[in-house]
Structure formats: C-alpha cells, structure tokens
Structure 1
Amino acid sequence: MTLADSYRTVRRRTERICSHLQTEDYVVQPIADVSPPKWHIGHTTWFFETFILKPYFMGYQEYDPNFNYVFNSYYETVGARVIRTDRGNLSRPTVLDVYRYREYVDEAIERFLCQEPSPEVKELFILGLNHEEQHQELLYYDIKYILGHNPLFPAYDKDYSCPKFESTPGLISISEGVYEVGHQGEDFCFDNELNRHKVYLNAYEISGSLVTNGEYLEFINSGGYQDFRNWHAEGWDWVKVNQVNAPMYWHLIDGEWFVYTLRGLEPLDLKESVGHVSYYEAYAYASWKGMRLPTEFEWEVAATHFNWGKCWEWTESAYLPYPGFNKAPGAIGEYNGKFMVSQKVLRGASEATPQGHSRITYRNFFHPNMRWLFNGIRLAK
C-alpha cells in the first residue's frame, strides 16, 4: 500500500466512525476529558497541515490562521491554544466548516504526495497516520461518553458488534529469569516503546482470561465498594468523594443491572469482560480476590500465551521512560515524554483500536481515576 493509499484509508475510517452522528453530537463536551467529535476531526487535520504541509509543501496556503489556536492540543512549541475544557464552547467553526477544512487539507496532501517525500518527512507522515488512529479510538471513547450520559441512552449504532475473543482458561505460569522487553525491528513504534532492554522477573502466574461482569458483580455484592480494606487510600477517597458503586455505564434499574453499550442500554451480560473501571477499582478487585495486577513487563512477556485486544488492561506499572529514552527535538518531542508522571501503563488493545495499530510492546497510559476508555482487568499472582 502506498503512502497515499494509507492516508486515504485512515482518513476515511475517521469519517466512517462519525457517520452515525447527528450534527448536535459533534459539539458536546460533558467533561474536560471528553473532546467534541468536531474537535477530533479538526485536530487530526491540523496535525497534517502543521507538521507536513506548512513546513514541507512549497507554496501551501494555510486554510485559516485561527485554526492553529482552535485545534492545537498540547504542543507548547506550536503556540497558544484553546484550553481543553473550552473545546465544547466552540460553536464556530461549524461542523460544515471543519469538514471543509479537512477536505482542503486532504486535497493538498494528495498533491504533496505526487512526489516521494524524504525519509525524514515520511517518518513524520507515518507518525501522523498513527496519531489519527489514536484519535479514532478516542472518538469511540468520547462518543460513548456523550451518548451514554444522555438520559435517553441513545444508540450510537444499533448494529454495532464487538469482536469476540477466545479466553485461555486457568492461570499461565511464567518462570523466573531475565527477559527482553520493548520494541525491536524497523517497523513503526512510538518513542515510549524504546529502547529494548532486559528485565528480571520473579516466577509468576497470570490469568489467561479477563475478569467478567459476573465475577465483578460478586465483588459489588460482597460490599466491595463499602470496604476500605482492599483500596488504596487515594482510591478509597475517590470512591467516597464520587460516590462510586459500580463500573461506568452500569445502571441498577428495578433491581436488575443494565449497561450502556454503543447499541444502547442492554441487560448486563455476565459472561462479558468487565469494562470501564478505574485503576483504583481494578486494584481493589484484585486485592479482594487475593491476587494483584501484572506489571507491564509481566504482561508483555506472557502475552504470547493468551489472546488480548478486547480491552486495554491496567498494569501495576507507573508510566516511566525506558533506559536510554530520548525526546525528539521540537514539537514532536512533546508527544509522549512530558506525560511520564502520575500515570499508570495499560497494555494490549481494545475493540476500538484500528486494525494494524496494536503491538505487544504498545504502552498506553492514563491517570488512575480514568474510566471512559475501553479497559478491563487481568489478574496475576
């Protein structure tokens, strides 16, 4: 597949994800962590305009100088920007304006790719494709939050279907030893997956399957959210302050549990893997079971022995740089390194991860209170 073909494929997928939305859905921002779909459409377009077209395409005319302020996310090097909490206040540019911007940049990229870019620019272009794939997954998170917190619980797509994953029963034993972790090879990876290095692991066991809704319901019914003994102090404070008593999107209606899905509100499927839990909840559940969460390196070493990809899996590891980690110069150096504080690593992928975007070495990261991402729990001991 040519670079132009890859670009078209990625850009069309973003638009397919949004094809189920009504215009009003594009502009909602219920909480600071959720960006309006309109903003994602504009930001992923801004990335290609800012990092490819403006510096490398001679004669390119910027679509609208104000859009740098509107659609810059966190790149201090690139200039001022709308603060994240105000993205939902932008009634203008309109959804139509943003799609026109997207079309304008797409046409310019097609002309730009008539000639083979330099290796350096090609590497940056591929980063842009992976960046948009990350936002495709975020779009699913944000759309689900927007619709799932509408009191009518409207469906995103009544025909939406989740991929099925076969579980590996029981526990998988891994011997103690020195193992190599981190990305190797010449194919794409993010800078936080480098450098490959050795780690020592004690012998451990890891579950071949994810925790199910039915198993997590046992924790709820046992009083798990009322018993401080299985919680970190910070997690226990979070439970009390936010009055948490179940995973996000669970609703107890007339004594029966329901869950909001992208198909709408449905009875809770006890066999499905539990999702939308914070690190605090994952840790508390593991403690209640007399087990723990795996470290990210335990997960990576064991991942060839079980199926993964249903949902991102919380690990016990803090998000830190690998030995020899170096940030790239300029704005691209802000991509991962500056977030390596106060966050937990998640491993795997989810049903919303684009095909070809997942790797066994992929390091996702979120703050421990986050629940709107597609995540789950795998236990270790």
Structure 2
Amino acid sequence: MSTLGPEIVDLSAEELRERVAVELDRTRRRSAALTDVVDDEELVKQHSPLMSPLVWDLAHVGSQEEQWLVRDVGGRRALRPDIDDLYDAFQHARAERPELPLLGPEESRQYVATVRDKVHDVLDRVPLRGRRLVDNAFAFGMIVQHEQQHDETMLATHQLRRGDPVLHAPDPPAPPEGTETSGEVLIPAGSFTMGTSEEPWALDNERPAHRVHVDDFLIDAHPVTNADFFRFVDSGGYQQPRWWSEEGWRYLRHAGLEAPLFWRRSGDVWMRRRFGRVEPVPAREPVMHVSFHEALAYANWAGKRLPTEAEWEKAARFDPRSGRSRRYPWGDAAPEPHHANLGQRHLRPAPVGSFPEGRSPAGVGQLIGDVWEWTATDFAPYPGFEAFPYREYSEVFFGPSYKVLRGGSFGTDPAACRATFRNWDFPVRRQIFAGFRCARTPSRAELD
C-alpha cells in the first residue's frame, strides 16, 4: 500500500513530485479497473437512483482535476468549460444524471486522459511551496483523495448492479487461531488531542488539532458481527418500536426494513448478494449495509449505545504510554496489508479478530478498514474550523442532517483513510459499506 503523511514535508521538490505522480497513477489504475470491467451499456446505465451512472463518476473526477490542477494550480486554459455544470454534484441530483447530455464512455476516457497529461505537465513545472493550495502538493493530494472517494462510490455502484460477477479478489485473511473476538475495552477518562494540524493532506474538516476531554467509557473490542445481528433480527428487533428512535421507526415503516440491505432469508439461512454472488451471510464478519437507525436500534437492544465521534477517535489514536495521539491505531506508519483491510484488496470485510497488528494501544481491533463505523455524533466543525479550499467540501453539510462515520472500509484507499479522517452521510443510508460497534458508560463498580 502507498500513502503519504507528515514525512512529505522533508522531501525535496523532486522527491515530492515523484511520490505525487505515483499516487496519481495508482489511483487512476483503480478508476480504470472499475470502469473497464463492464461494457458501455453498463457504464451509462443507472443501477440505482441512489447512485450516478459509472460514466458520470469517471468524467466527474476528470472535471474536478481539470478545474483544480490544470486551471487553478497550473493557470492553464480551460479544456472543457462547457461541461463544468454537467459534472457539478451540487447542480444535479444523482437520480437526474442519466438524463443529462453526459460524455459517452470513450469520450470520457479520452477526456480524463487528456486532463491527466496536462496535470503531469503542471506537476513538473509548478512550485510546491509558497502558496497554501500547493504547499506540500496539497491540491494534488486533495484530487487523489477525491478520486479515491469516487472509486469507493463506484465500488458501491458495482454492489448495486445486477448481473454476473465482474470484480474478483482473494478472501481476507482469517484471524489467528484462538483469537478472542468478544468483550469490551475500558478507555479511562481524560483529555486527548483530536483532529490534526500536522497531516499535510488532511482535509478541512479534520482540522485543527484540539484537546477534548472524554469521560470513562467501554467500547467493543471489535465491530458488531453478522452473528450478533442475527440475534437482533431473530428476536423481532425490526418489529419492536421500543428499540428504535421515532425517526428510525418512521424510516423502518416507510422503507419496509426487515434486515440489512442485500440480506434475504432462505429457509433457516440468511443469504446475501455480494458483487453478483449469492452466499450465506458469514457469521464472523462485521455486519454491513446497515443504516445509522439500524445501528442505534441494535445498540439499544443490546443495552448499549453508539460511541461518540470523540470516543471513537480516542479509542483509535490515544497512546496512554506517551500521552500523544497517533496517526493510526498501530502507530504513525502508513497502513500495510497486515494492519488493516483497505484498498479493495478484498471484496468483503475480514472476520473479526483479523489484523491483530492493527490494534490500538488499548487493544481495540479493526478500527481502520473493513467497515465504516457509525457514530452518535452529528457532522459539525471543530473549534477553529476554516473552510479550505472551498465551502462545498465540508461546510455546507454541517448540521443534524448528517451523522459521522469513521475508520474506512475494505473499499477505502489508504490515501483517503487515517484515524482523523471524517466521513458523513444521511442516517438512512445503507448502500455504503457501513457497520458499527457499540459503547457504553461503565458503572461505578466496573471502575473500582
């Protein structure tokens, strides 16, 4: 795996250019793999009103790259100003995009290739110091992360498409024999540094670093599994309003929810559809494709709650031995395959207990990768937040309409995943690769 962190501030200009070029090319290979694997009819088709046609995502990443790197950073002439509005995500809802006069598959490929040629020329020539947008190649890192985020979105679109499997990957590793996969971890009360002011490619909503006090709490050592969720479903959890918030119960009745998305019962067995394959739901994997409302209902049923965003980040980052916050649960080093299930190396979450080398100092496992984890927290700015380089990345989404998710999924690239990274979505969303873990406030007896 490859990702860039604080060490890039010490690179020479030429070393930084080389590293950025590697990230750009690595990211584009993933985009190509997700779009080349289906025919043109599948590319232009809308597989769900929740998602754009794949061809829209492909040209959109090119349009953003052109606007930020070719025009703004490079000061070059606009290549296709006529399509700016077509690929502006704020002007056209996803359900409307198939009706737009979009670029066709081959024209989209040619467009993004032309843009990328211009970007490499800009990268070779532009100073990477002296202007906030280009310091430490920030704008290039922003574009890498933007494209990787759309790659994960396209992966979710692949999950929604019907038809034979077209994506293939080996299964994730099994946990070491005898690994304990249940239980809770106590995180003692105290303050810690949340967010970052040092990560060169951190996005605006991760900034600035600030001190936060968190009371004592217990958090699940691993995400809630499918086996755990079976018990909730089989106990009538979807039929009992006492476990659900008022908003969640209204959503359940409106949507007719009975189980996580893509689950179907076949006799006594729960089956799921996964990238064109139908298979029994694996008991030991983290539950996935559940909304915030389903996660909260399960937590209520289990006598627990969802962790706050600050609790999640403290469990993931705080090292009580040094008193500092790490970049990742395992330390400051970039993710490697033995740390976490990231980067679409596998097309499913790993069983709980996998990646013991990726645990936090407190012993909490699989906080990074596998499934995004819902938190109880509304998406809001940190104290001292400053929108940069544009309001539409974060600021326009702040408020109670969106809940924060943390940690990334098996489909999240390391470039767009770190222990400070914040994702957000509507609490009804289920097509994303989201699960959760529970937390609770300990009793006095448990602290004595």
Asked if Structure 1 and Structure 2 have the same fold, meaning a TM-score greater than 0.5 normalized by the shorter chain, the answer is yes
Query: What secondary structure is seen at the aligned counterpart in 1 of 2:84?
Result: helix
Aligned residue runs from structure 1 range 46-57, under 5 A: 46-57=63-74
Cα shift at 1:65 = 3.2
- Are residues 1:139 and 2:154 paired? yes
In 2, the alpha carbon distance for the partners of 1:360 and 1:114 equals 31
Bigger drift between 43-52 and 15-24 goes to 15-24
- Specify the alignment match of 1:179 in structure 2: 192
User: What is the aligned-residue identity percentage?
Assistant: 31
**1:131 corresponds to which letter in structure 2?**
H
- Are residues 1:210 and 2:223 paired? yes
Whether the aligned pair in 2 keeps the contact of 1:144 and 1:156 (CA below 8 Å) is no
Match of 2:115 among 101, 105, 113: 105
Cα shift at 1:302 = 0.9
- Specify the alignment match of 2:141 in structure 1: 126
Whether the aligned pair in 1 keeps the contact of 2:373 and 2:434 (CA below 8 Å) is yes
- Specify the alignment match of 1:223 in structure 2: 236
Q: In 2 relative to 1, CA 372–59 (structure 1 residues): closer, same or farther, beyond 3 Å?
A: closer
Cα shift at 1:165 = 7.2
- Specify the alignment match of 1:70 in structure 2: 86
Q: In 2 relative to 1, CA 232–92 (structure 1 residues): closer, same or farther, beyond 3 Å?
A: same
Whether the aligned pair in 2 keeps the contact of 1:44 and 1:135 (CA below 8 Å) is yes
- Are residues 1:93 and 2:106 paired? no
Query: What secondary structure is seen at the aligned counterpart in 2 of 1:333?
Result: coil
Cα shift at 1:52 = 1.8
Q: In 2 relative to 1, CA 101–287 (structure 1 residues): closer, same or farther, beyond 3 Å?
A: same
In 1, the alpha carbon distance for the partners of 2:371 and 2:74 equals 39
Bigger drift between 308-317 and 174-183 goes to 174-183
- Specify the alignment match of 1:369 in structure 2: 428
- Specify the alignment match of 1:257 in structure 2: 270
Whether the aligned pair in 2 keeps the contact of 1:319 and 1:340 (CA below 8 Å) is yes
Query: What secondary structure is seen at the aligned counterpart in 2 of 1:66?
Result: helix
**1:298-341, CA deviations, whole angstroms, 9 ceiling, x for partnerless residues?**
11111223222110000111111100111136xx2321111112
Match of 2:312 among 288, 296, 299: 299
In 1, the alpha carbon distance for the partners of 2:418 and 2:174 equals 16
In 2, the alpha carbon distance for the partners of 1:156 and 1:247 equals 23
Cα shift at 1:162 = 4.8
TM-score, length-scaled by structure 1: 0.90
Whether the aligned pair in 2 keeps the contact of 1:163 and 1:310 (CA below 8 Å) is no
Cα shift at 1:92 = 4.2
**1:18-40, CA deviations, whole angstroms, 9 ceiling, x for partnerless residues?**
23222222122244431111111
How many residue pairs end up in the alignment? Answer: 366
Whether the aligned pair in 2 keeps the contact of 1:165 and 1:310 (CA below 8 Å) is no
- Give the unaligned 5+ runs of structure 2: 1-17, 317-359, 441-448
Query: What secondary structure is seen at the aligned counterpart in 2 of 1:236?
Result: helix
Cα shift at 1:232 = 0.2
In 1, the alpha carbon distance for the partners of 2:379 and 2:410 equals 23
**1:111 corresponds to which letter in structure 2?**
D
**1:331-363, CA deviations, whole angstroms, 9 ceiling, x for partnerless residues?**
x23211111121111110100011343111111
In 2, the alpha carbon distance for the partners of 1:86 and 1:315 equals 30
Cα shift at 1:143 = 1.7
Query: What secondary structure is seen at the aligned counterpart in 1 of 2:313?
Result: helix
Query: What secondary structure is seen at the aligned counterpart in 2 of 1:21?
Result: coil
Bigger drift between 39-48 and 169-178 goes to 169-178
Bigger drift between 190-199 and 217-226 goes to 190-199
Whether the aligned pair in 2 keeps the contact of 1:162 and 1:351 (CA below 8 Å) is no
Cα shift at 1:168 = 5.2
In 1, the alpha carbon distance for the partners of 2:315 and 2:199 equals 23
- Specify the alignment match of 1:77 in structure 2: none
Query: What secondary structure is seen at the aligned counterpart in 2 of 1:70?
Result: coil
Query: What secondary structure is seen at the aligned counterpart in 2 of 1:113?
Result: helix
Cα shift at 1:271 = 1.6
**2:372 corresponds to which letter in structure 1?**
W
Q: In 2 relative to 1, CA 172–244 (structure 1 residues): closer, same or farther, beyond 3 Å?
A: same
Match of 2:418 among 359, 363, 366: 359
